[in-house]
Structure 1
Amino acid sequence: MGRVVVIGATGHIGSYLVPRLVRAGHEVVAVSRGSRQPYFEAAEWASVERVAADRDAEEAAGTFGYRIAGLEPDAVVDLLCFTPESARHLVDALRPAKPLLLHCGTIWVHGRALRVPVTEDEPRTPFGPYGTGKARIEELLHRETRTGGVPAVVLHPGHITGPGWPVITPAGNLDPEVWRRLATGEPQALPDRGLGVLHHVHADDVAQAFELALTRPAAVGSSFHVVSAQAMTLRGLAAGAAAWFGREPVLEFVDPEEFERRYGPEHARATHEHTERSIAAGIGRAREVLGYSPRYSSLEALRESLRWLVDHGQVDVGGQAF
């Protein structure tokens, strides 16, 4: 057991991870911006040291990494790093003490899938600022480990899902109307015959993987996918969601231009960004090295999320029970 500093502690993953770490006997320092509360209450938070930090401002001043190092961690879980410059600043500050560093990446380091399931050893071909930035961070951290610096582990989640926030729908975007259409039997259009692939993961399963990685020395220097056991196509997710309401989905397969005409450029762009990659990520390495075993399937994670959204008035399913 050790002293674990969690950066981004009250976000999607941290809200589940921090209570897990406390239950496992770790001393936890939760670093977050301002006084934001976690997504759900847990008694374990009462025993957590809370630290407020504005990462962007403190990095600009050159102080953030040294502040984290000054907390004297045995391990740092970084859930909030998006650029190589940010990662380098933290690593430079941690290097004298060399605590274990766990970084949250993304399956989007892979870019367009060529072979499925995609393994962690697939050559990196990311595109777009998010995936490209995360791939560069991954390379930086593994190089740091190889050269005897800060030991690091990189965990790559899929589309993080859970109660408390909007989630990627069976149409590959954040359009809340998708749920209503599937619940009420209205037509839902999909591009590419609905064969684009999404790989969801419940936030608690991501937290599980981070917890496991803290105590697996064999994980150091490696990357791991953290996703549900199976990816699903858009049409498969739509069928599963409609079945919650006792329906078959009414799907219309359209070209990208028609999809954008119906739902607008923002939702069409999000769908395209997801389906263009269509990553089905393998979890064999995470199972073998970490002992990772996802509790939730993609559909189970989505159903729990949708129930929360409906109960909190953020999604209308036309009064349908499920």
Structure 2
Amino acid sequence: MKVFVTGASGHVGSALVPELLGAGHQVVGLARSDTSAAKLEAQGVTVQRGDLDDLDGLRKGAAEADAVIHLAFKHEEMYAGDYQGASEADLAVVHAFLDELSGTGKALVGTGGTLSYSGLGRTATEEERIPSEGPRGAARNAILDATGLRGSVVVLPPTVHSELDTAGFIPILVRTARATGISGYPGDGTNRWSAGHTRDAARLYRLAAEKAPAGSVLHAVGEEAITMREIAEVIGRKLGVPVESIPAERGQEHFGPLAFMVSRDAPTSAERTKALLGWEPTGPGLLEDLESGFYFEQG
């Protein structure tokens, strides 16, 4: 297949591109900078210059491909505090892809996050339906409900981890602990995040593009539940700083851009994903990756 990938030079994209090429697919990658374009070209990827605001260019990329994998998101805007704006931009991209692909039977693989399941009070499964009121939920549900194409959504845990992860939540937590001298966790630290390895996630995106049935929700989860206190304890020990509870009233001050999500509780299962696509996580766990040290060697 010819696969058009947004976010091809990013964290998960850096694992997805060789995964797709290794399976015999042709890859066209969206690149907004010369650096990203050069990185992709060096791997044998056909580069399409543009960004998430270039909706006509995105439609063109989708029209010329057999499948679309949409990984990119305006993370800079999200970390700057404009999550709403970044999400609205993502919804516009999804609608552009749906307009172009409707009636073609082609695959469109979108991206969601397991933190959208927070507040359930139980382990989330692939049967969960999240509200469409917000733009992120609307984008996810638009893909799942689309007809005339094979739409699926890969739902990523907040901690997709590996040595390729240089700008995600774990690097931010490490930098925060360095800057403040405290490895913090919210409240009593018993809230749980799911986790998954980057290369396992990349393999799931490939399988989704190749064979996921229309309307599939796919969880890229290798570990269902790791407490925030466990994460903070490893970070504190590796950096040699105290591990402390951060009360809610100090959350924004300490955690910065992660404050609105760091206290969420969202354990998530991937059992149905494994059964549906024959996907089985093989990468190391989050705490094992933290113990290995590469997160603490980053600048």
TM-score normalized with structure 1 length:
0.75
Aligned with residue 296 of structure 1, among 284, 287, 295: 284
Distance 1:9 1:303, change over 3 A: farther
Is 1:278 the counterpart of 2:284 in the alignment?
Answer: no
Mapped contact 1:10–1:36 kept (Cα < 8 A): no
Look up the match of 2:57: 64
Aligned with residue 252 of structure 1, among 234, 241, 244: 244
Is 1:144 the counterpart of 2:146 in the alignment?
Answer: yes
Is 1:52 the counterpart of 2:43 in the alignment?
Answer: no
**What's the offset of the Cα at 1:144?**
1.0
Mapped contact 2:231–2:287 kept (Cα < 8 A): yes
Within 2, Cα distance between the matches of 1:48 and 1:188? 40
Within 2, Cα distance between the matches of 1:204 and 1:284? 18
Query: Aligned letter for 1:91?
Result: L
Aligned with residue 106 of structure 1, among 108, 113, 120: 113
Structure 2 residue runs without a partner (length 5+): 74-86
Query: Aligned letter for 2:285?
Result: S
Query: Aligned letter for 1:51?
Result: Q
Within 2, Cα distance between the matches of 1:179 and 1:287? 38
- Secondary structure (helix, strand or coil) at the match of 2:261 reads helix
Look up the match of 1:317: none
Mapped contact 1:241–1:299 kept (Cα < 8 A): no
Deviations 1:123-166 (A, max 9, x none): 42589xxxx32211121112213xxx221111110123333513
Distance 1:95 1:190, change over 3 A: closer
Matches within 5 A, 1:127-276: 132-145=134-147, 149-159=148-158, 160-164=160-164, 165-169=166-170, 174=173, 176-178=175-177, 188-217=183-212, 219-242=213-236, 250-257=242-249, 259-260=250-251, 265=253, 267=255, 270-275=258-263
Look up the match of 1:89: 96
Look up the match of 2:121: 115
**What's the offset of the Cα at 1:53?**
1.5
Deviations 1:231-281 (A, max 9, x none): 211211233445657x8x843335323x44xxx626256234221x21111
| Pairwise CA RMSD | 3.1
Share of identical aligned residues, percent? 23
- Say which one has the larger Rg: 1
Deviations 1:263-315 (A, max 9, x none): x626256234221x2111111111111222221312134456x51551x4x1x
Within 2, Cα distance between the matches of 1:30 and 1:189? 38
Within 1, Cα distance between the matches of 2:5 and 2:257? 33
Within 1, Cα distance between the matches of 2:170 and 2:70? 27
Q: Which runs of 4+ in 1 moved over 6 A?
A: none
Matched pairs, number: 281
- Secondary structure (helix, strand or coil) at the match of 1:105 reads strand
Within 1, Cα distance between the matches of 2:247 and 2:237? 25
Within 2, Cα distance between the matches of 1:168 and 1:77? 22
Query: Aligned letter for 2:125?
Result: T
Deviations 1:59-100 (A, max 9, x none): 2xxx234311342x1111111264333211111112253311
TM-score normalized with structure 2 length:
0.80
Shifted more, 4-13 versus 45-54: the winner is: 45-54
Look up the match of 1:74: 66
Distance 1:189 1:89, change over 3 A: closer
Structure 1 residue runs without a partner (length 5+): 315-322
Query: Aligned letter for 1:285?
Result: R
**What's the offset of the Cα at 1:177?**
4.3
